[in-house]
Amino acid sequence: MNILLINHYAGSPEMGMEFRPYYFAREWVKMGCHVHIIAGDFSHLRKENPKVEEDMQYEDVDGIQYCWLKTGRYEGNGMSRAMTMFRFCYKLRKYSEKILKKIKPDVIITSSTYPLDTFPAQYMRKKCHARLIHEVHDMWPATLIELGGMSKYHPFVQLIQIGENSAYKNSDRVVSLLPCAKDYMVRHGMKAEKFFCIENGVVEEDWKNPMPLPTEMERELENLKRSKKFIVGYFGGHALSNALSNLVKAAERIQNKDIHFVLVGNGVEKERLKNYVKKHRVQNVTFFPPVQKGSIPNLLKYFDISYCGAKESLLYQYGISLNKIYDSLYAGVPVLLAFRANGNLIEKYNCGVVSKGEPLEIAKKIEMLLQMTQEEKMKMSANARKVIKEKYLISKLAHDFINIMD
């Protein structure tokens, strides 16, 4: 089977996020498929962007054919980023016949965060009579309105809405990472039978030979464990959307000296959080720089709880599919989910606790977890590992995806 996957921000383990297109494509290649990924030459998510000299340039990455379209750099989430979206879709349409001649796809998957790529993809589908699958990572334009504060009457928002509706109506299948989005999509033109949910998951191979942690970090974490500390850990971005100020304020309220908080990562909020800890003399919080994705298994060995926070939002009524949750559960680390989200694994499979995003509530849940019996903690850890191994390994999810392509 020839698969053409379109994702403006697709990356790889070496380049950085987004990882999902690469890992699914790698599994499909193992199954004997020929996979081409079309992506832009720049993404703010990648730690390293490809060196692209031509307007359209091919590169083989682990048996996957990447086709880079030159879209240019951007800063932030303003007009310059929007222009790269338009440029990507324009060039996708411009080079569509060249691309189709090279791959002759049986299936075209539109997978960019924004849904505008559906328009050139629909044109390509008509040209080659391929099946068209639209994959939804985030709810656009709802995300722009709810988190970005944009008006639903803004011209860009309205354009995105037209794209979303068209994708739901004209695709042969719609794959959602969010388990509770079906009703919304039906209201926006999708036939109910088109809906499939394939969430994120764990790449088991990454856990067989994980990368070591930086020496100094490992030494400090070992010291905390030798001191019998109960470690509440967080890894990932330090942005307002991660609600880490609630975690730091919860740490401030906790008097139990056996509990220690570890925050690993970087972002615009990190300095403010560190200043707060210093100003308020919060002694039970340690900050570390970000680590490589391949080191996450070694990091999670030290965590007793993995924190996952977010600002409360109506978006979470559609569900969540956060990589840090799957990684934590695979490691057998219970998750403290500090916001309400429909269809979450934590409540569904009893592999952690859910809290309101208020510091006092978070502190109470942490102390409750500490006071659990060893048997209760082991049961929660076993539940976590079991659900990931049975349902959320990338190798299984990639097979599930292939099955809906027919």
pTM, full prediction: 0.92
Every domain of the chain and the residues it spans: 2-197, 205-391
* Topology (CATH level 3) of domain 205-391: Rossmann fold (3.40.50)
DSSP state of 405: H
As a whole number of angstroms, the distance between CA 354 and CA 74 comes to 37
Q: Tell me, yes or no, if the two domains 2-197 and 205-391 fold the same way.
A: yes
Q: What is the mean pLDDT of residues 284-309?
A: 96
As a whole number of angstroms, the distance between CA 229 and CA 258 comes to 5
CA nearest to 146, candidates 9, 310, 265: 310
As a whole number of angstroms, the distance between CA 401 and CA 406 comes to 10
Q: With a cut of 90, say whether residue 16 has pLDDT above it.
A: no
pLDDT digits (tens, 9 = 90+) for 153-177: 999 999 999 999 999 999 999 999 9
Q: What is the mean pLDDT of residues 334-343?
A: 95
CA nearest to 2, candidates 36, 25, 27: 36
As a whole number of angstroms, the distance between CA 124 and CA 82 comes to 23
pLDDT digits (tens, 9 = 90+) for 257-289: 999 999 999 999 999 999 999 999 999 999 999
* Topology (CATH level 3) of domain 2-197: Rossmann fold (3.40.50)
